[in-house]
Structure 1
Amino acid sequence: MSDSPFTSVISQHLPDLTPYESLYKHFHRNPEISTLETETNARILSELQTLNSAHNSPIEIKSPIGTTGLIGIHRNGDGPTILLRADIDGLPILEKTGLEYASTKRMMDTHLDNIEKPTMHACGHDFHITCMLAAIETLLNCAEAWSGTLIYLFQPAEERGAGARMMLDDGLYTTHGCPKPDLCLGQHVFPFKAGNVYTRSGPTMSAADSYRITIYGKGGHGSMPHRCIDPVVIASHIVVRLQTLVSREVPPDETAVVTVGSLKAGDTVNVIADEAVIQVNIRSVSEYWRKVLLDGLKRIVNAECEAGRATKPATFHKLNEFPLCDNDEDVTRRVQEGFTAYFGERHDPSMQPVLGSEDFPWLGSEIGKPYCFWFFGGVDGEEYERHVREGTTNEIASNHSPFFAPCLQPTLRTGVEGMVVGALTFVGKERK
């Protein structure tokens, strides 16, 4: 870290993180499902107002945007405008971590299906919120060391691929007066070694497209299949044939995934259903092969329905869509230079693409601006190294697991430092 112009700035101005550890535990205990993050929004708003009170109100707060999103606009002299983003929603998962601050919360998913669901921060968004707030305090403390405008954006509904679009459609850059940034920065905790940061230029997270597909048959008695058209058989052929998209149509050196997450039909054993429903998730890391996969999905479904004498064409309902996260080369190079100078060997600038997906890119791409998205580790260092030695890293609980439990430190500190270094790389007075 000795070569970084930001080392002394951060060492002098990073706040005591003990209160933020408590704040993180609060967010972890109180997750909220996508689009319903009202209490989370209120707590973030309260924390921003407290920071404003302590620093003569320099941050202009706008809330709500896109249901439960909010932003803080921090103007601090002339310079570039940089957007920093943190997502805030939890997942409908029953937590099984055993942590003393584990979530036991349940909530009605009134936006989706009116079903009560267990709720958990199983993807680390509680870390993202807390790291952002601590980074904001750091940037307030060191305001003399930078010049420009920072936008602190807290985004809802990332898990449904909807939140960024909701904020944009609600007039983020128009009605709500958010300055259009010169570039956007974001980060994500991941089951890598805690204390480390990971970057990559180019395709970094996959595009994802999810569909619910209904296949139509002709129902009847299980003893008389000749009088029926069985949609389960048609759907089963579709499930098997879809596996050939990756194995036989996408080159071996390309990365793609086709997953059938569910196949549902009927309610009892001796009745042939008249409909079958499959849900398909497709992930890709290039726009060309994304199109090949999506075209192949429709071709296979339609062909198998015809072969199975389906009573009418299948219907396709798009569940969600995530863009390809394609980090800008120049922006990423500058972030990497800042990270290498500050973190040293704890920065890996050549991570492999991640097949998870994010809607973060839309915040920049929709207005023609570049972005960079990076990762920071959340697995205790000794535990991680043991799994590496034993070849058992696949046993580490991943994001969306009911056992996902990043270690509190140095995860929190690294996430704060990463966000601050990322921002100062572009607005710091020591920037190149």
Structure 2
Amino acid sequence: MREAAVVARLTREITPGLGPGHVPGSLADFYRDLHRRPELSFEEHRTAAKLAGRLRAAGYEVTDGVARTGVVGVLVNGEGPVVWLRGDMDALPVHEATGLPYASEVDGVMHACGHDLHVTWLAAAAEALAAAREAWSGTLVVVGQPAEEAGGGAAAMVADGIHDRFPRPDVLFGQHVTPGLAGCCPHTPGLTLSASDDVDVVVHGVGGHGSRPESTVDPVVTAAYAVTRLQSVVSREIAANEAVVLTVGRFHAGTTSNVIPAQARLGVNVRTRDSRVRERVLAAIRRVVEAECAAAGCPLPPDVTVLPGCPTTVNDACLDGEIAAVHGELLGAETVFDSGLALGSEDFSLLAPRGVPYDYWYLTATPAAVWEAAPGEGMTEKTAAVPGNHSPLFAPDLSVLAPGVRTLVSAALSRLADQSGPVCGSPRGRTRGRQAPPMPGTPA
């Protein structure tokens, strides 16, 4: 690729209105419109139409309805590499509590993870690159992905033939908004996001009248013992140097207080970074639940169903180093550092065919006033204290609109504006580079 300083300078030249402190009104209006009208996974019809319309107006060949609500725009501009830029589009079933003048108008639905920002960045970056065709050569593919929050969007796009129907990527780029003082661009070479699995558990009891528990096998009590016991799996069965999280996020049983139900259902989420550890944790969940059911005398063994979610996200270390250098030149060297492994998860990596390198980085977006008022000392404590992804109070600072466009544009130009050498490739290393106190990104 060209030198980082050259790519950064070219990026500034083709995005003259996106310098530090600039928030173009049209960009902010587009973002606010998306934020007011969020849509859940696989329901992003309006959002997809907005993105598709801007891509068509910029000269892209656009395909709608990929994996139901996905959008793919293709711009062929001579010989050269094929670069994919991806942004996810869906919102969450969260009641917004930010009090913003452009807060969600859809009851119980909110862009609590910042995907409205992602679409805004993606659309504006695509437009800037289309308007500067003379500065680069190759093929740009813009992917508006549905259903990242549901965990099935990327897999659905692959199943719908995205790798066969559109130019196959030589490199894939993506980014995510995250808590932290607005203006930083954390990068992590190698492993950056954990794998995620959901486990659905059904405990079968014997229902009956609440006044005669002796005639029943209470699945609520049995499931409660299982929940308590599961808390020891990570603390007592997994080495302390392994990054593992086990969360029981759902417990459903019964319909009224004087009836002992016949079933109880648990929803368990597991985050791991190592496939062998993952198998041990999943086996432990099954063992604990089966043992508690046996101890309670349940009439049937429990149903334990693993619902695989997202794989690990492992940045190509060479590629990440090059893009981090570009972003350092663009935003300031002090803004780019290694944020380390986060136990959030993403399906982004599924869009990269086997052997294709990818890079996934973050942009911090906590308003300065919120950051300064947060309790704690240092980056780690303050990051934990400010509203983060999935919070009903999550409200990114609009100052990140412009730099988020430039980070995507510069990543694309690092390949499209240079034909001198091959793209970084596998194996994807885990070598750590720039160091700073960890600032966990939490996409999903």
Q: Distance in 2 between matches of 1:227 and 1:154?
A: 55
- Could you tell me which residue of structure 2 aligns to residue 102 of structure 1? 103
Give the match's secondary structure for 2:100: coil
- Could you tell me which residue of structure 2 aligns to residue 422 of structure 1? 411
Give the match's secondary structure for 2:401: helix
- Could you tell me which residue of structure 2 aligns to residue 197 of structure 1? 185
- Could you tell me which residue of structure 2 aligns to residue 89 of structure 1? 90
The TM-score, its normalising length taken from structure 2, stands at 0.88
Q: Compute the displacement of 1:169 (Å).
A: 0.8
Superposed, which structure 2 residues align to 1:298-337 within 5 Å? Answer: 298-318=286-306, 321-337=309-325
- Could you tell me which residue of structure 1 aligns to residue 363 of structure 2? 376
Q: Distance in 2 between matches of 1:147 and 1:328?
A: 23
Distance 1:426 1:420, change over 3 A: same
Q: Distance in 2 between matches of 1:430 and 1:25?
A: 38
Q: Distance in 2 between matches of 1:431 and 1:334?
A: 15
Tell me, yes or no, if structure 1 residue 42 matches structure 2 residue 44. no
Tell me, yes or no, if structure 1 residue 131 matches structure 2 residue 125. no
Letter of the 1:36 partner, please give it: E
Q: Compute the displacement of 1:345 (Å).
A: 2.5
Give the match's secondary structure for 1:316: strand
Q: Compute the displacement of 1:384 (Å).
A: 2.3
Give the match's secondary structure for 1:290: helix
Q: Distance in 1 between matches of 2:231 and 2:88?
A: 33
Per-residue deviation, residues 272-293 of structure 1 (Å, max 9, x unmatched): 2111111111111222211211
Q: Please say if residues 424 and 431 of structure 1, whose CA atoms lie closer than 8 Å, have aligned partners that are also in contact.
A: no
Letter of the 2:29 partner, please give it: S
Letter of the 2:36 partner, please give it: R
Q: Please say if residues 76 and 148 of structure 1, whose CA atoms lie closer than 8 Å, have aligned partners that are also in contact.
A: yes
- Could you tell me which residue of structure 2 aligns to residue 289 of structure 1? 277
Q: Distance in 1 between matches of 2:406 and 2:419?
A: 16
Q: Please say if residues 183 and 335 of structure 2, whose CA atoms lie closer than 8 Å, have aligned partners that are also in contact.
A: no
Tell me, yes or no, if structure 1 residue 237 matches structure 2 residue 244. no
Q: Compute the displacement of 1:3 (Å).
A: 6.4
Q: Please say if residues 196 and 414 of structure 1, whose CA atoms lie closer than 8 Å, have aligned partners that are also in contact.
A: no
- Could you tell me which runs of 5 or more consecutive residues in structure 1 were left unpaired when the two chains were aligned: 53-58, 107-117
Q: Please say if residues 244 and 272 of structure 2, whose CA atoms lie closer than 8 Å, have aligned partners that are also in contact.
A: yes
- Could you tell me which residue of structure 2 aligns to residue 29 of structure 1? 36
Q: Distance in 1 between matches of 2:6 and 2:373?
A: 34
Q: Distance in 2 between matches of 1:362 and 1:121?
A: 23
Q: Please say if residues 31 and 89 of structure 1, whose CA atoms lie closer than 8 Å, have aligned partners that are also in contact.
A: yes
Per-residue deviation, residues 281-316 of structure 1 (Å, max 9, x unmatched): 111122221121111111211222122211112113
Q: Compute the displacement of 1:392 (Å).
A: 4.2
- Could you tell me which residue of structure 2 aligns to residue 347 of structure 1? 335
Q: Please say if residues 203 and 286 of structure 1, whose CA atoms lie closer than 8 Å, have aligned partners that are also in contact.
A: no
Q: Distance in 1 between matches of 2:110 and 2:341?
A: 26
Q: Please say if residues 4 and 326 of structure 2, whose CA atoms lie closer than 8 Å, have aligned partners that are also in contact.
A: no
Q: Please say if residues 171 and 358 of structure 2, whose CA atoms lie closer than 8 Å, have aligned partners that are also in contact.
A: yes
Letter of the 2:119 partner, please give it: I
Q: Distance in 1 between matches of 2:330 and 2:419?
A: 13
- Could you tell me which runs of 5 or more consecutive residues in structure 2 were left unpaired when the two chains were aligned: 18-23, 422-444
User: Would you say how many aligned residue pairs link Structure 1 and Structure 2?
Assistant: 410
Q: Please say if residues 245 and 293 of structure 1, whose CA atoms lie closer than 8 Å, have aligned partners that are also in contact.
A: yes
Distance 1:262 1:204, change over 3 A: same
Q: Distance in 2 between matches of 1:88 and 1:223?
A: 50
Identity of aligned residues (%): 38
Letter of the 1:268 partner, please give it: T
- Could you tell me which residue of structure 1 aligns to residue 234 of structure 2? 246
Q: Please say if residues 11 and 413 of structure 2, whose CA atoms lie closer than 8 Å, have aligned partners that are also in contact.
A: no
Letter of the 2:322 partner, please give it: R
Among 208, 212, 235, which residue is 1:220 paired with? 208
Q: Distance in 2 between matches of 1:102 and 1:82?
A: 34
Distance 1:15 1:138, change over 3 A: farther
Among 111, 123, 128, which residue is 1:121 paired with? 111
- Could you tell me which residue of structure 2 aligns to residue 75 of structure 1? 76
Q: Please say if residues 154 and 351 of structure 2, whose CA atoms lie closer than 8 Å, have aligned partners that are also in contact.
A: yes
Q: Please say if residues 29 and 103 of structure 1, whose CA atoms lie closer than 8 Å, have aligned partners that are also in contact.
A: yes
Distance 1:431 1:195, change over 3 A: farther
Deviates most, 213-222 or 376-385 = 376-385
Give the match's secondary structure for 1:198: coil
Per-residue deviation, residues 124-169 of structure 1 (Å, max 9, x unmatched): 0000000011111221233222222121000001100011011111
Q: Please say if residues 15 and 134 of structure 1, whose CA atoms lie closer than 8 Å, have aligned partners that are also in contact.
A: no
- Could you tell me which residue of structure 2 aligns to residue 151 of structure 1? 141
Per-residue deviation, residues 318-338 of structure 1 (Å, max 9, x unmatched): 455111111122222222222
Per-residue deviation, residues 215-253 of structure 1 (Å, max 9, x unmatched): 001112223322211111211111111111110111111
Q: Compute the displacement of 1:431 (Å).
A: 7.0
Q: Distance in 2 between matches of 1:418 and 1:289?
A: 35
Letter of the 2:402 partner, please give it: R
Letter of the 2:246 partner, please give it: V
Q: Compute the displacement of 1:407 (Å).
A: 0.8
Letter of the 1:396 partner, please give it: V
Tell me, yes or no, if structure 1 residue 397 matches structure 2 residue 387. yes
Give the match's secondary structure for 1:82: strand
